[in-house]
Every structure is written in structure tokens, then in C-alpha cells.
Amino acid sequence: MIPLLFAASVVIFTLLALQPGDPLDELRQQNPRITAEQLEQLRRAYGLDQPIYVRYFKWLGRALQGDFGQSRTYASPAGQIIFGQRLPRTLVLSGAALTLALLVAIPVGIFSAVRQYSRADYAITFLSFVGFSMPIFFLGILLLFLFAVWLPEQLPWFPRFPVQSISDFQWVQVTRGEISFFQFIGDWAFKLVLPVLALSTIQMASWTRYMRASLLEVLNQDYVRTARAKGLGERIVLYKHALRNALIPIVTLVGLAIPGVFGGAVITETIFSYPGMGRAIFDSLVEKDYNVAMAALAFLALLTATFNLLADLMYAVVDPRIRYS
Amino acid sequence: MAAVATAPQQKSQSTWSLAWRRFKKHKAAMFSLGVVIALVLMAIFAPWIAPYDPTAQPTGDNLADFYFRGPSAEHWLGTDELGRDMLSRIIYGARISLLVGFVAAFAAALLGTTLGVIAGYFSGRPLRFYAGPLAKLAGGWSPWPFAIWRVISWALLYLLLFLVADLAWVLSGSNVQALFAGTASLNNVLSLLGLVLVWGVVLLIAGWGLFGQGKLDLDVAISRFMDFMLTIPELPLLLVLSALLRDTQGAVGQWAQSVFGESASVFIIITIIVLFGWIGTGRLIRGAVLSLREQEFTTAAQALGAGEARIMFRHLVPNTLAPLIVNATLAIGGAILTEAALSFLGFGIQPPVATWGNMLTKAQEYIFTAPWLALAPGFMIFLTVLAFNYLGDGLRDALDPRSRL
């Protein structure tokens, strides 16, 4: 895992270092009278005169100590921006989306498999096709149009969901006693409804399908028939015998999807103006503030590698037949 | 996995006609096939179908009258913020989406198949990978690709060693110089130690490089590379790559423009989609080949004296065709989705060229005043991706020899 992460960080760093335009461009524009000498001095101060691989190892040395460099646009340390401010917000958004997806997908998938070829099953299969064919950015815009524009206009009692999905309430206000805890949670939850829906749809749809397929495969196995032949009740057959084995592939799938959800949050956060990590990556690429992008991307790579490993390990935990030597 | 249906039949039927008969039973897939054909025709004949020029802006006195017009008889889908006809832009947008989808999926399938079959076929059979200039080789310089690679590998090895040595000097040089100038701090001593260590290792490897030989299991190399690609956060990296290649000022961007020519942005998008898109196919084919190469027909081909390349591409690849086709069909939808997402974020194909993705970017700003601007392109992306997903599903059922008629 460490060599993979090292290689990934090398590639990401190189790609960002090759990006056209350096932090000095901005300075040149803001201050046309800056002399070439001063620029050269700054260039040396930022370490931009050194070859890329030297810069990489310097960056790595500092990053391992938790220093990700200075952000130009936010005028504070990039690590603090990403890990202190943005990451918790993305964790809330992605965590809620993943939980919602799981809570819907597993029961619906089970229901759909048990009632195979019923009308409900056809409807669920169709909906899941629709769900994972739906581009997340179109879904986001659609949700905004429906719940922030159209429905509130048509129905006066309908709550108008915000276009900008960030609550004004700070946790400090709760500790100071200015607002109650429930006000705080309620406001955040209300404002997160649309982005969470948008972000969870794809996973919800594909996990429903996988859950259905996985359970159907298990239900056709001999040991399930044996369990039924023994005269066990359908509930016990389903939940004690079939479901446990059917969940094994789902565990891996969920583990592998988690980093993708974080990465995919770039689009959701952009549409709903939610200042999370994805939005920070997007902004820093537009603003050429590469220290921020590097910190966030390095974290995403770490997350992906960790969850790939965890998915493998979890696989062994839930399925005792698999043993790693 | 194999697509060969060998069950004895009264009237002999080819694999493909059997598959077609199974495919016809899948109503949603048949409908999707119709949708895809209609979309392709629309894309090909766009200049004849589209009622207006997709980039033409109205001229006249009351320009404001032409902007943001709702659907009407003249403009079926209304006009956008610059008065351009939405229907024409949608029709022309199909060209980009389908071009990107088909080319990217095809190229990714090609790359993934090639690397997958190489990884699977040569697994557990390390190939000669490095042989120094002074190494004594049993088999001489043959085959010729190895002879060429051998020379390249010397250059790569010594370049790498030079970079490492140089890096060590840049990082520790000033401290070491300070040590010899008389300031003996712990830091400076450590720097000297590190420098000596790194340079020693570099010299050792350089010495080995003259005489040494190395073998490499291609499967290990390719599989590790695929693992590595899966570690990279895909969507953000696509944005980074796209920003790098599309830029007209940077050296890399200019190189890309000169390579791809006029429609550079389209081909750049295709390239970066392929860069991440082949991995799924690669893993699939590798897995299939690992089991296929153990079967009797492969042994028979080897016994008959077929070459490695012939076995790989004439015997093994055709047997992986069924999952490959399904995978490629689903990949078309995926590539269309990726292109649209990149264009939506402003990192894909740039206006004024109309693509469904970049039409949505502007539309989001006007969602309060002109919602129809968002609905049309978004629905087209959705419909196209849905059609390819159903098509893939139908093909999966049709090409699976276990599924009955």
C-alpha cells in the first residue's frame, strides 16, 4: 500500500507541478511594477526554481509532518483549509449519502429478490436502471428546480429548499447558548437534504441491483433448498441462511465505492455551492492554488488505498472461507 | 465465459444468430437499440436535420426578444441566453457525445484487451526484461523487440540513477558543504551520511546495471499498475489532466494541441477517458485468459506450433468476446457520462462548441428564469446513458450461452 501511495502522490504532484501558470502570475498581474529581480527572488523563496522531483521530496518531507504549504487564495495553511474546514463538511455529506443509500438499497434489494418477476420487482429494476443512468449533475439541477423553485411556487405550504446548501449556524453558537442543539441539527439537515439525495442516488440504484442479484444467486443454492426441506420457516431461511452469504459481495462493493463517493462529491458540492473538499479541489484548480489541490488529492489517494485494503480484509472477516496466508 | 454455443441443434445455427434471437426477447434492450440507432442517425445527419446553425446568434434591433424564448413553433425547445436555437444545439451536441462515447469505449477496450491478455497469458512466466551492456546472454539479442528495449532500458536505468544522485545532492549539498567549511552540527553530519548512503547505493546499482540481467513477470507489472491506477482519485485527476492538456500557454498543452490538431479538445477528452477507462476491461480479460489458457484448445494450439501472438489474439481473445462486448457497451454510456460531467464543470469541451454537458453549465444559472434550458440537454444525456445501459444488459443476457431461448 505504501509504494502505491508513494507512486500516486508522485503522479499527482507532477501533474500539478506541470500545470501552466505559477503562483507568481497573480502577483505579476496585481503589481505590474514588480521587477524581474524581485520575481526571481520570490521564485527562489517558493522553491520554484528547483526541478520537480526535488520539489516533490521537499513537499513529501513537509507533508509527512503535517505541513501542506500555504494556500494563496485563502491566505492560510492548505492543510488547515482541507483537513480542518473542508473535510468535516464532506464527511457529513458523504456519510449521510452513503448511509441513506445503504438503508434504502439493502431492504429494497431483498424485497425485489424475494418477489422476483413480480410487478414491484420490475418497477424496482427499472427505477434502479434510471437511477444509475442519471447524471448526477442533471439530477442535482432537477432537484434544485423541483424543490427550490417549482414546488414552492406551486404549493404555498411547501418548504423552499435553499439553493446554497450550507447552514449559517456554527457549532460555537450552540455552545454559547445562542441557538438550541436541535435548531442547529435541524437547519443543517434541512439544507443537506438535496445534496445528499443527489449524491446517494447512483449508489442506491446500483447497490439495489447488486443486492437483488446476489440474493437471487444465493437463494438458488442447494443449502437454501436443504434449509427449506428441513422445514425451516421462510424468515429463518432468508435472514439466517441466505442473506448472510448474499451480503458478502455487497460489503466489498460498498468499501470500494466509498472513495468514489468522496471524489464524486466534487460535482455535488459544485452544484449545491457546498463548501466541502470537492469544491475546494475544483476552486483550487480554477484559481491555480495547487497546494490546496495537492493536500486534498493526497488525502483522497490515501482514502482510496485504505478502503481497497479494508475491502479485502472485510471480505475475509465476513467470509471465513477466505484466508490470507 | 465463452460465447461458443456448441449444443447439437437440429438446424445448425451460428452463435451470433442464437444471440440475436435471445436479444430480441429483451424488449427494453430492443427499444434501446432503436434509440441508439436514432441518435447515431441524428448525429450523422445533424447539418440536414438541425433547423438552425447551432452557434448562430440572432441579429436585429430588438435582440432581447430573441433571448430566453420558451418553446415555440419556430424554436421547438426555445432559445438560450444568446438566442441560439436549443434544438439545433441538442442535435449537434449528439455528435460530440456519441463520438466521445464510441471512440473512448473502443480505444479503452482495445487497450484493456491487449494489456489484459498479455498479463493473463504471460502470468507466472517471467520474461527477460533487463540485460546490461556487458551481460553474457544465452539467447543473444533475439527477439528483435528485446534488442531495442534492451538499449532503451540502459538509458532509463542510468537516467533514473542520475536523477536520484542529483536529488540527494540538491537536498543535502548545502549542509555537506557547511560541514566541510567547519560547522559540524548534527544535521550536517546526518546529511553527509545520507549523501554517502544514497550515492553508494546508486554506484552499486550502476555497477550491477553493466553486467546484471533481470526478469520481469508481465502479469505482476500490469496488475500492479492497474492497482496503482485504482488508487488515484479518478474524477479530480480527470480535472487535473484536462486542465493540463487543454491549456494553450503551457508546454504540455501546446504539445497536445499540435498533436491533436483542430479538434484537440475532443481528442484530449477521449484520451483522458481512455487513460482511466481500460482498467475494468483489463482486469476482466486478464481473469478470463488466466482460466482459458489452461484449457485443452490452448494446449492444442501450442502443440500445433502456433506462435505466442497467434495464440493470444486468435485463440484466447475471441473466447473473451462476449463479456468484452457487454463491457464495451456499458463503457460507451460511462464515457458519455464522464465527458458530460467534465464539460459541465468547465473542464471538458469549451463553448461555443455545443455539447450536452456544457449546455447544462450555463443552464444552471438560469434555472429560475428559463428551466427548459436545463431540461433538454440533461434529459438527452440521461436517455443516451440509459439506452446504452439497457443495451449492455440485453447483450449480457443474449451472449451468455447459459441463458436459454
B170, B231, B368 ranked by CB distance to A149: nearest: B368
CB contact under 8 A, B231 and A8: yes
Measured between CA atoms, how close is A97 to chain B, in angstroms?
Answer: 18
Identify the CA nearest to A263 among candidates A79, A90, A49, A38.
A90
Mark yes or no for CB contact A133/B228 under 8 Å: no
Binned at pLDDT 50, 70 and 90, residue A154 comes out as: confident
pLDDT for B61 beyond 70:
no
Return the minimum-mean-pLDDT range out of A205-209, A286-290, B160-164: A286-290
- pLDDT digit string (tens) for B328-371? 999 999 999 999 999 998 888 887 788 888 888 888 778 777 77
Interface test with B, best of A137, A145, A269 (most B CBs within 10 A): A137
Report, in angstroms and rounded to the nearest whole number, the Rg of chain B calculated over CA atoms. Answer: 28
Task: Give the max Cα distance, chain B.
Answer: 96
| Interval B381-397 mean pLDDT | 92
Whether A135 and B240 lie within 8 Å, measured CB to CB: no
* Residue A211 near residue A246 (C-beta atoms within 8 A): yes
Distance CA B398, CA B170 (A): 62
Statement: residue B2 has pLDDT above 60: no
Model confidence at B1, in pLDDT bands (50, 70, 90)?
very low
pLDDT in tens, A4-32: 888 888 888 888 887 776 667 767 777 77
> Would the CB atoms of A19 and B250 count as touching at under 8 Å?
yes
* Residue given cell 536523477 in the structure block: B163
Q: Nearest 5°: CA angle at B354, between B349 and B355?
A: 60
CA distance A24 to A40: 10
Partners of B233 on chain A (C-beta within 8 Å) are 259, 262-263, 297, 300-301, 303-304
SS (H, E, C) chain B: CCCCCCCCCCCCCCHHHHHHHHHHHCHHHHHHHHHHHHHHHHHHCHHHHCCCCCCCCCCCCCHHHHCCCCCCCCCCCCECCCCCEHHHHHHHHHHHHHHHHHHHHHHHHHHHHHHHHHHHHCCCCCEEEEECCCCCCCCCCCCHHHHHHHHHHHHHHHHHHHHHHHHHHHHHHHHHHHHHHCCCCHHHHHHHHHHHHHHHHHHHHHHHHHHCEEEECHHHHHHHHHHHHHHCCHHHHHHHHHHHHHCCCCHHHHHHHHHHCCCHHHHHHHHHHHHHHHHHHHHHHHHHHHHHCCCHHHHHHHHCCCCHHHHHHHHHHHHHHHHHHHHHHHHHHHHHHHHHHHHHCCCCCCCCCCCHHHHHHHHHHCCCCCCHHHHHHHHHHHHHHHHHHHHHHHHHHHHCCCCCC
Give B11's pLDDT tier (boundaries 50, 70, 90): low
What pLDDT, on the 0 to 100 scale, is given for residue B401?
A: 66
Is pLDDT above 50 for B294?
yes
* Distance between A63 CA and the closest CA of chain B, angstroms: 16
Inspect the interface and report whether the beta carbons of B382 and A129 lie closer than 8 Å.
Answer: no
Residue B201 pLDDT > 80: yes
Which of A20, A141, A300 has the CB atom closest to B233's CB atom? Answer: A300
Contact: B237, A297; criterion CB under 8 Å? yes
Q: What is the pLDDT of residues B137-156, one digit of tens each?
A: 776 556 777 778 888 888 99
CA B88 – CA A3 distance, rounded (Å): 51
Least confident of A34-38, A57-61, A103-107, A241-245: A34-38
φ/ψ bin of B50: left (φ > 0), alpha (ψ from -120 to 50), beta (otherwise): beta
A173 or B24, which is more confident? B24
pLDDT at A159: 81
Question: Do B371 and A293 count as a contact with CB atoms less than 8 A apart?
Answer: no
CA distance B386 to chain A (A): 5
With an 8 Å Cβ cutoff, are B386 and A129 in contact?
yes
Average pLDDT, integer, range A134-149? 89
Residue A256 CA from chain centroid, whole number: 11
Q: Which residue of B has its CA nearest to A50?
A: B170
- pLDDT at residue A143 is higher than 80: yes
Which residues lie closer than 8 Å to B54 by C-beta, 6 or more apart?
B84, B85, B88, B89, B91, B92, B93, B354
The rounded percent of chain B whose pLDDT value lies above 70 is 88
Contacts of B166 in chain A (CB under 8 A): 51
Between these two residues, B385 and A304, which has the higher pLDDT value?
Answer: B385
Contact yes or no for A304 and B243 at CB 8 A: no
Residue A150: its chain B contacts at CB < 8 A?
Answer: 371
Cβ-based contacts of B382 with chain A (< 8 Å): 133-135, 138
Residue B3 reports pLDDT greater than 60: no
pLDDT of residue B14: 78
C-beta atoms of A20 and B244 within 8 A: yes
- pLDDT at residue B264, rounded to an integer: 76
Which of these, B27, B81, B36, lies nearest to B386 by C-alpha position?
B36
Query: Taking all residues of chain B, what is their mean pLDDT, rounded to a whole number?
Result: 83
Q: Is the pLDDT of residue B405 over 80?
A: no
Q: What is the pLDDT of residues A114-138, one digit of tens each?
A: 988 899 999 999 999 999 899 998 9
Mean pLDDT of B44-64: 75
User: Which tens digit of pLDDT belongs to each residue from B345-355?
Assistant: 888 888 778 88
- What's the gap in Å between the CA of B43 and the closest CA on chain A? 21
Q: Are B329 and B391 in contact (CB under 8 A)?
A: yes
In 10 A of CB B285, how many CB atoms? 28
A99 — pLDDT class (breaks 50, 70, 90): very high
Contact across the interface for B378 and A142, Cβ inside 8 Å: yes
pLDDT the model gives residue B139: 65
**A–B interface: beta-carbon pairs under 8 A:** 146
| Backbone torsion region of residue B349, taken as left when φ is above 0, otherwise alpha when ψ lies between -120 and 50, otherwise beta | beta
**The pLDDT of residue A139:** 92
- Other C-beta atoms closer than 10 Å to the C-beta of B340 total 33
Nearest CA in chain B to A141: B364
Give the residue carrying C-alpha cell 504539445.
B255
- Say whether A300 and B240 touch across the interface (CB within 8 A): no
User: Which residue in A has a C-alpha nearest to residue B243's C-alpha?
Assistant: A19
pLDDT of residue B324: 92
pLDDT exceeding 90 applies to what percent of chain B? 23
**Residues on chain A touching B346 (C-beta within 8 angstroms):** 286
Q: Are strands A70-71 and B127-131 parallel, antiparallel or unpaired?
A: unpaired
pLDDT of residue A95: 92
**Cβ-nearest to A259 among B233, B333, B390:** B233
Query: Closest approach of chain B CAs to the CA of A129, in angstroms?
Result: 7
Q: Cα separation of A186 and A180, whole Å?
A: 10
Closest approach of chain B CAs to the CA of A92, in angstroms? 19
**Band (A196; pLDDT cuts 50, 70, 90):** very high
Contacts of B389 in chain A (CB under 8 A): 129, 132-133
Amino acid A45: pLDDT: 75
